[in-house]
């Protein structure tokens, strides 16, 4: 290791802790490498010689054999008050960095090359208990942060059941039936989606679940909440503010749902696939059939190409038109609201129009569609005026798996119970983070 690659070595600890492990119903001891969140953040800020207010983005995801909790440190360049508001929600914890913002290329700070590892464990399941161990070890709740992850993990950190439970939304109290089947008029007056879920609600719901004898069959009476929330926030703090919707999953979820559950049944798979084929886009088959982020962006941009006699000669253009319209409005939402910098636009009007065209495609409303339709506008209101969801994207937290392998390859030991495994992993993690300063 060179000096630069050892900068953060002393901050990382290794432990043997019991986790729910992959391919087993039992708990087993696993090596975990972790850092104290506050100490790590202080150290990175000092080494980067940064001044001003900071926002912390925490990401969690499993991949390439490791579950990882990683973080991005973002300068809050244009609205110091915003950061101090965030810090105010942690009792006794205010941002201690001097006022005076810094202007930087904000997109660069969100890159996987600037990502710092907070904790890593090989081959464990993504469960409530496992996340709790990692958040406790790192004392994550001692720092102010926002958390981004895909919906399964968002529900887990809330203490909720899965996205197929009676109450599937991490942000509100909509039921699965309301979400799927209500029509436009009814959904507009759906009171359960008007109340934003707060940490107070989550705590109350968990108390009710305990009072009901922790019987999972009765979990619907506690709004599908079965564990206390993992994040410590004031009772009136909303989930939507703490956990911005994951923009990449919203984009992918929307495009794939409209394509596979909307266009394919109407056009037939072969004819539907002519559209991406003519754009030289391939779909990947390893997790079922799916278009990934870049492919989704191109499809949105090229929605008009669906109007092709070869593609819609049998069903007719008018059946396909609502899909083209829906893709086009989604493209505008992505362009205006999903980037790092938000562009001025009338989100309410766009979402309203989007709602109508999505309904006329005839596809069912999924959780991701519900979040775009019901929570996109509200989620932006919790961000700075010129900040888009892209600043809080979960993307780097997923690219981290491939990026970490480059470092791990130099230390790699396959046997996770080998005596030297922990130290090798600690060194790989320290090098990864040190060279990402």
CB of 180 vs Zn ion, minimal distance in Å: 13
CB of 150 vs Zn ion, minimal distance in Å: 15
Region near Zn ion per CB under 5 A, out of 61-69, 130-138, 172-180, 357-365: 172-180
CB of 170 vs Zn ion, minimal distance in Å: 8
Terminal-residue alpha carbon distance, the chain: 16
Region near Zn ion per CB under 5 A, out of 42-50, 164-172, 216-224, 275-283: 164-172
Three-state SS letters, the chain: CCCHHHCCHHHCEEEEEEEEECCCCCEEEEEEEECCHHHHHHHHHHHHCCCCCEEEEEEEEEECCEEEEEEEEEECCCCHHHHHHHHHCCCCCCCCCCCCCCCCCHHHHCCHHHCEEEEEEECECCCHHHHHHHHHHHCHHHCCCEEECCHHHHHHHHCECCCCCCCCCCCECCCHHHHHHCCHHHHHCCHHHCCECEHHHHHHHHHHHHHCCCCHHHHHHHCCECCCCCCCCCCCCEHHHHCCCCHHHHHHHHHHHHHHHHHHHHHCHHHHCHHHHHCCCCCECECECECCHHHHHHHHHCHHHHCCHHHHCCCCHHHHHHHHHHHHHHHHHHHHHCCCECCCCCHHHHHHHHHHHHHHHCCCCCHHHHHHHHHHHHHHHCCCCCECHHHHCCHHHHHHHHHHHHHHCCCCCCCCCCCCHHHHHHHHHHHHHHCCC
CB of 174 vs Zn ion, minimal distance in Å: 5
For Zn ion, give the closer residue by CB, 37 or 174.
Answer: 174
Instruction: List the x/- string, 1-20, binding to Zn ion by CB under 5 A.
Output: --------------------
For Zn ion, give the closer residue by CB, 127 or 181.
Answer: 181
For Zn ion, give the closer residue by CB, 186 or 314.
Answer: 186
CB of 367 vs Zn ion, minimal distance in Å: 8
CB of 193 vs Zn ion, minimal distance in Å: 5
Measured N-to-C along each axis, helices 247-256 and 317-337 cross at an angle, to the nearest 10 degrees, of 170
- By CB under 5 A, tell whether 151 contacts Zn ion: no
- By CB under 5 A, tell whether 169 contacts Zn ion: yes
CB of 223 vs Zn ion, minimal distance in Å: 12
Region near Zn ion per CB under 5 A, out of 53-61, 165-173, 180-188, 403-411: 165-173
- By CB under 5 A, tell whether 155 contacts Zn ion: no
Distance CA(2)–CA(8), nearest Å, equals 12
- By CB under 5 A, tell whether 172 contacts Zn ion: yes
CB of 337 vs Zn ion, minimal distance in Å: 17
For Zn ion, give the closer residue by CB, 101 or 378.
Answer: 378
For Zn ion, give the closer residue by CB, 109 or 167.
Answer: 167
Q: Residue 359 in contact with residue 185, Cβ under 8 Å?
A: no
- By CB under 5 A, tell whether 173 contacts Zn ion: no
Region near Zn ion per CB under 5 A, out of 62-70, 92-100, 169-177, 343-351: 169-177
For Zn ion, give the closer residue by CB, 152 or 410.
Answer: 152
Residue from 53, 54, 135, 171 in contact with Zn ion (CB under 5 A): 171
Region near Zn ion per CB under 5 A, out of 174-182, 232-240, 345-353, 387-395: 174-182
How many residues bind Zn ion, per CB under 5 A? 4
CB of 202 vs Zn ion, minimal distance in Å: 14
Region near Zn ion per CB under 5 A, out of 98-106, 170-178, 261-269, 339-347: 170-178
Q: Which residues contact Zn ion by CB under 5 A?
A: 169, 171-172, 174
């Amino acid at each position: 290791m060179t000096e630069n690659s050892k900068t953060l070595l002393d901050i990382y600890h290794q432990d043997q802790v019991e986790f729910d492990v992959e391919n087993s119903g039992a708990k087993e001891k696993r090596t975990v490498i972790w850092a104290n969140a506050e100490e790590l953040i202080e150290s990175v800020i000092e080494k980067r010689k940064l001044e001003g207010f900071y926002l912390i983005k925490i990401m969690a995801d499993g991949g390439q054999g490791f579950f990882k909790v990683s973080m991005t440190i973002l300068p809050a360049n244009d609205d110091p008050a915003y950061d101090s508001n965030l810090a105010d929600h942690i009792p006794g914890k205010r941002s201690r960095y001097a006022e005076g913002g810094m202007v930087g290329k904000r997109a660069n700070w969100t890159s996987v090359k600037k990502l710092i590892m907070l904790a890593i464990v090989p081959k464990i399941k993504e469960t409530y208990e496992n996340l709790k161990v990692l958040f406790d070890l790192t004392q994550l709740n001692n720092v102010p942060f926002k958390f981004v992850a895909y919906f399964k993990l968002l529900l887990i950190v809330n203490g909720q059941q899965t996205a197929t439970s009676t109450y599937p939304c991490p942000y509100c109290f909509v039921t699965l039936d309301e979400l799927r089947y209500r029509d436009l008029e009814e959904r507009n007056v759906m009171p359960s989606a008007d109340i934003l879920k707060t940490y107070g609600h989550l705590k109350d719901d968990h108390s009710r679940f305990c009072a009901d004898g922790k019987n999972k069959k009765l979990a619907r009476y506690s709004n599908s909440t079965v564990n206390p929330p993992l994040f410590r926030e004031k009772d009136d703090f909303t989930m939507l503010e703490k956990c911005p919707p994951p923009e990449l999953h919203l984009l992918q979820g929307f495009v794939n749902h409209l394509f596979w559950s909307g266009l394919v049944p109407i056009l037939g798979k072969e004819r539907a696939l002519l559209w991406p084929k003519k754009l030289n886009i391939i779909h990947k088959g390893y997790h079922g059939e799916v278009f990934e982020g870049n492919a989704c962006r191109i499809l949105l941009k090229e929605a008009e190409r669906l109007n092709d006699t070869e593609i819609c000669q049998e069903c007719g253009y008018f059946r396909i038109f609502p899909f083209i319209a829906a893709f086009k409005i989604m493209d505008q939402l992505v362009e205006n609201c999903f980037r790092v910098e938000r562009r001025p636009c009338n989100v309410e009007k766009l979402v309203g129009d989007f709602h109508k065209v999505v309904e006329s495609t005839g596809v069912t409303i999924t959780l991701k569609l519900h979040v775009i339709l019901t929570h996109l506008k509200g989620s932006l209101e919790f961000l700075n005026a010129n900040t888009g969801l892209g600043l809080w994207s979960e993307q780097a937290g997923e690219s981290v798996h491939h990026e970490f392998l480059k470092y791990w390859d130099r230390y790699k030991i396959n046997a996770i119970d080998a005596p030297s495994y922990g130290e090798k992993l600690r060194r790989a993690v320290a090098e990864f983070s040190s060279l990402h300063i």
